[in-house]
């Protein structure tokens, strides 16, 4: 156990928020890539399916990811700890949610429960919502001194 404590990689708050942004952007771009392939591979491409993507984006961003970005940014910035574990941009609940979403995504994709056009539309919306959330983390990290005022709880 002492080994892990001794060699735990620690970073400052700005770097931790930057890492969160990179992870969320990576996940969002991966989903966009999967969604794009499914969408472009279908003969049924039309505005209706893009509407589904926009609806998924609005639903996930406004009801989940926007709140998660705010919650994790506030938690990191209001922490009394100067240096954080490199993996602490999520709390335990965040990692559980991420694991559940990845597991469900793999299951749904491998089980062929839905036509690729529906999965593609869903993945495009979800990917854009993750991408925007990651961009907000990056914006916060890049403008750290100005943005941290918005998240400090008094």
> What are 108-149's pLDDT values in tens digits?
989 999 988 899 999 999 999 999 999 999 999 988 877 766
Structural domain boundaries of the chain?
11-150
| CA–CA gap between residue 109 and residue 121 (Å, rounded) | 13
pLDDT band at residue 154 under the 50/70/90 scheme: low
- Whether 1 and 86 have beta carbons less than 8 Å apart is answered as no
Predicted pLDDT at 6:
64
- What the block records as the tokens of 36 is 């794009």
Average pLDDT of every residue of the chain: 88
Name the β-bridge partners of 83.
12
| CA–CA gap between residue 34 and residue 84 (Å, rounded) | 33
If residue 85 lies in a helix (H) or strand (E), which one and from where to where?
strand 83-85
Helices (H), ranges, 41-154: 47-60, 66-77, 92-111, 116-142, 144-147
Predicted pLDDT at 135:
97
Torsion angle of alpha carbons 100, 105, 110, 112, nearest 10°? 120
- Whether 76 and 152 have beta carbons less than 8 Å apart is answered as no
Name the β-bridge partners of 10.
85
pTM attached to this predicted model? 0.85
Mode of pairing for the β-strands spanning 10-12 and 83-85: antiparallel
In the 8-state DSSP scheme, what is residue 79? -
Residue 39, number of CB atoms within 10 A of its CB: 22
């Amino acid at each position: 156990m002492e080994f892990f404590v001794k060699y735990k990689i620690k970073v400052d708050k700005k770097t931790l928020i930057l890492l969160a942004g990179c992870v969320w952007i990576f996940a969002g771009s991966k989903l966009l890539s999967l969604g794009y392939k499914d969408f472009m591979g279908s003969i049924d491409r039309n505005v209706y399916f893009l509407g589904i993507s926009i609806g998924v984006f609005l639903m996930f961003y406004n009801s989940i990811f926007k709140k998660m970005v705010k919650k994790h940014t506030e938690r990191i910035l209001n922490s009394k700890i100067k240096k954080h574990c490199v993996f602490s941009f999520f709390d335990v609940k965040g990692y559980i949610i991420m694991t559940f979403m990845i597991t469900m995504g793999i299951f749904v994709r491998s089980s062929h429960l839905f036509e690729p056009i529906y999965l593609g539309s869903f993945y495009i919306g979800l990917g854009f919502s993750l991408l925007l959330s990651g961009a907000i983390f990056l914006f916060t990290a890049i403008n750290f001194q100005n943005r941290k005022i918005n998240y400090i709880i008094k």
